[in-house]
Amino acid sequence: MDVQGLSVVYRRLGLPGTTATKVAAKDVSLSLAESEILGLVGESGSGKSTTGMAIAGLVKAAGGEIRLLGRRSVGRSGARQRLAGADVQVIFQDPHAALDPRQRIGNGFKELRKRHRERASWITDEELMELVGLRADLVDVLPHQLSGGQAQRVCIARAILVRPRVVIADEPTSALDVSVQAQILALLKRLAQEQQIGILFISHDLAVVRGLCRNVLVMKDAQVVESGPTDRVLTSPEHDYTRRLLAAVPGTRAAEPEGGAA
C-alpha cells in the first residue's frame, strides 16, 4: 500500500453562518510492504488514529491518494469500493465494543461470509478459530462470555476471514493485561508472515513498537515529523518531539544529537 499526501479535515457548525474546522491529518505519506508491520506512534490527538481510519475508508479524506496493489482504493463506487473494503480491515482498541453484544461469534462469521462469499470460503469457522488460538466451541458464545484477550482474537479472526491485504491495528493491545498483550502481538506477527498481510500498527507504546516494527512513523499535530528504521528513530531520533516522547518513558533515553543537548 502506498499513501501520498493524505489529509483529513473535520468540520462542524459554529456560530450562525460559520463553520469551525480542524485539520486532523495533514500531508501524511507512507508505504507498507507485504508482511510488514509498520509502526505509527504519537501522543493522543496527534492524528494517528484518524490517519488509520481514513486509510480504511471509515473517515473521509480531504486530499491525497491511497493506492493498494497499484490501484487507487478510494473514490470508487460499487463493486470496486466493496473490494477495497475487504482488502483493508481494522482491529480496534476495545474488542468488546467492536463486537455486537447480541450476536454469537459464529453468526458474526456467517454474516461476513454472506457479504464476501468469494473471499471467505478459504477456511472453516473451526479452522479460523484454531488459527487465532481459540477453541472451536467458542463460536457458540456471546461476546460478554469472552475474556478481553479472547474477544480480541475473535476480532483478529473476523479481520483475516476476508483475506485482507492490509490491516489497520489501532491500539489493539492497550486494553489488555501485559501477558495477554504479548500473546496478541505474537499472533499479529505470525499472521503477517503466514497470510502475507501488511499491518499498520498504531500505538503510543514505544516499547511495543520497538519490539514489533522494523520501521516507524512519528506524528505530532496531524503531521509526520519523523520516520525511518525503528532502531534508529527510537535510539537516535532527529526530531526534538521524538526525543521528548522517549524521555517520557521511564528507563528510556535517546542518544544526544551531535554537538550535545541544546
List C-alpha distances in Å: 74 to 10, 55, 58, 70.
Answer: 18, 9, 11, 12
Residues 86 and 161: beta-carbon distance below 8 Å: no
What are the tens digits of pLDDT across the range 74-133?
544 444 444 457 899 999 999 999 999 999 999 999 999 999 998 999 999 999 999 999
What are the tens digits of pLDDT across the range 20-38?
889 999 999 999 999 999 9
Q: What are phi and psi of 189, to 5 degrees?
A: -65, -40
User: Among candidates 54, 85, 89, 84, which has minimal Cα distance to 72?
Assistant: 84
Query: Which stretches does DSSP call E strand in 118-205?
Result: 166-170, 198-203
- The contacts of residue 81 (CB under 8 Å, 6+ apart) are 57
Q: Whose grid coordinates read 493498494? A: 68
What are the tens digits of pLDDT across the range 49-83?
999 999 998 898 999 999 988 877 654 444 444 44
Q: What is the pLDDT at residue 11?
A: 86
pTM score of the predicted model: 0.90
DSSP conformation class of 136: G
Residues 217 and 185: beta-carbon distance below 8 Å: no
| Domain parsing of the chain, residue ranges | 2-96+158-247
List C-alpha distances in Å: 192 to 22, 60, 89.
Answer: 34, 27, 13
SS3 assignment, position 113: helix
Q: What kind of architecture, by CATH, is found in domain 2-96+158-247? A: 3-Layer(aba) Sandwich (3.40)
